[in-house]
Amino acid sequence: MIWTAVRRTRIPRTRPTWFVLALLGLLAPLATPSVASADSVDDQRRRVSQIVDELERLASQADELGEKYSDTLAQQDAIQGEITEIEVKIFEMQKQLAVMQANLVGSAKRSFVAGGSVGSLSSILGGSGSLSDAMKRAYLGSAAANIGAASTDAMQGLIDDITKEKSKLEGKKKQLASTATFLSNRLSASDKMLQQYESLRAQALRDLGSLLTEEERRRAQEAETAARKEADKNRSSYKVVASSPQAGVAIKAALSQLGIRYRWGASSPGVAFDCSGLTQWAWAKAGVSIPRVSRSQYAALTRVPVSQAQPGDLLFSQSTFFHVGIYLGNGQMIHAPRTGDVVKISSVTWTRVLGVGRPN
């Protein structure tokens, strides 16, 4: 897995071309038998290290595009949520307006009937007649005001509010359309970057063979060892106040796996976990059965607002895949992040959290 968290910077458009030329320049000496035979083993390893450096740099750029795609996806979801809220608000205001209008017309009818002005009422309420719309509204408003019904000023105020909300709604819809286009562009750029990475790595693998894989394996082992050491620091010292006895058991179970390596599809305590394998296993230790796959967990669990997340809740985020971890409180979570990493405690990036699920 090539996805890692990286510093966010603008990606120069000329970078891929420069990278291709640089990598090909590094590969050329190794691909020439006469030169390769004259090179020492140390020289070869140095060149392999340079090539892996370049591959990792390109992978980081692909990661960055993936992260920006995730950020834009979160923005799109937020805008859609705002649109839904505005639409509901407009609907409720329109219902209120309809009631006010019905009350106003009913009041006017009763007033005119009681006063013996049925003939005048038909011309006021009819679709045609000699009276203008302004005069009709004046008559109806006067009649309604005489018996204490809602005034036309209040009704006009509500109409103005509805107009403002509709204008806001149109603005949000335009913003959503713009975000969708931006999202498509970022996804396309990310796909191209990944394709380039895979193509160049395949070429390096053909030219270097085991030298490349050995260097990549060595670096992965170093990264995993460093991550395990960091995780071990929290093994005995981390304290959590759980929101329920079951959540406490699940958290304790997850913490017992600190430093265990990540492996996709794994759910083996003491051996390896992927993100959803860890959350399922931890909550199973608390006697709660949840689905195996993160997307299914997200769909099955009780949803709670992000602002109300409690220790033991599952935090779901969209990065390069649908990720899940267990919230520990105080902005911290325990999770199995990615290949080359281990079960560890990390700070929560709340802007990437799509939802919170509560097992029960």
Taking only the tens of pLDDT, the chain with its 360 residues reads 333 333 333 333 334 444 444 454 555 554 444 444 445 767 777 878 888 887 777 776 766 666 666 667 667 877 888 999 999 999 999 998 888 877 777 766 666 565 554 444 455 444 444 545 655 555 555 555 554 444 567 788 888 899 999 999 999 999 888 888 887 777 777 677 777 777 877 888 887 788 888 887 888 778 777 777 766 666 555 667 778 999 999 999 999 999 898 887 889 999 999 899 999 999 999 999 999 888 889 889 999 999 999 999 999 987 545 789 999 999 999 999 887 688 999 999 888 888 999 998
- Assign residue 156 the CATH number of its domain: 1.20.1260
CA-CA-CA-CA torsion sign (90, 95, 98, 104): negative
**Is residue 135 one of the residues assigned to a domain?**
yes
Instruction: Give the pLDDT of residue 269.
Output: 95
* Number of domains into which the chain is organized: 2
- The answer to whether the CB of 345 falls within 8 A of the CB of 305 is no
Give the per-residue pLDDT at 121.
46
Do 236 and 302 belong together in one domain? yes
Q: Are 108 and 55 in a shared domain?
A: yes
- Is 235 a domain residue? yes
- The verdict on residue 193 lying in a domain is yes
**Residue 178 sits in the same domain as residue 228:** no
Shared domain check, 168 and 102: yes
Burial of 356 (0-12, 13-18, 19+ CB in 10 A): buried
Does 214 fall in a domain? no
State residue 327's pLDDT score.
96
pLDDT of residue 3: 38
Do 288 and 202 lie in one domain? The reply is no
Domain boundary among 208, 242, 264: 208
213 in a structural domain:
no
pLDDT at 309: 94
- Say if 316 falls within a structural domain: yes
* Same domain membership, residue 233 and residue 163: no
Residues 76 and 202 in one domain: yes
Q: Residue 182 has what pLDDT?
A: 81
Q: Is 218 part of any domain?
A: no
The pTM for the full model equals: 0.47
Q: Is residue 217 part of a domain?
A: no
Q: Which of 181, 208, 235 is the last residue of a domain?
A: 208
How much is the pLDDT for 339?
72
Q: Which H or E run includes 354?
A: strand 353-358
Shared domain check, 141 and 193: yes
In terms of domains, do 243 and 320 share one?
yes
Cα–Cα nearest to 332, from 344, 318, 317: 344
- CATH number of the domain encompassing residue 330: 3.90.1720.10
Q: Strand, helix or coil at 335?
A: strand
Nearest to 311 by CA among 270, 345, 352, 267: 345
CB-based contacts of 232, cutoff 8 Å, min separation 6? 258, 259
Active site residues: 275, 323, 335
Which domain covers residue 290, as residue numbers?
223-358
**Whether residue 278 sits in one domain with residue 168:** no
Give me the pLDDT at residue 50, please.
81
pLDDT for the residue 146 = 53
- pLDDT for position 114: 59
Residues 8 and 140 in one domain: yes
* CB-based contacts of 51, cutoff 8 Å, min separation 6: 23, 26, 27, 204, 208, 212
Checking DSSP bridges between strand 261-262 and strand 272-273, what pairing results, if any? parallel
DSSP string, 258-326: TTPEE-TT-EETTTEE-HHHHHHHHHHHTT----SSHHHHHHHSEEE-GGG--TTPEEEEESSSEEEEE
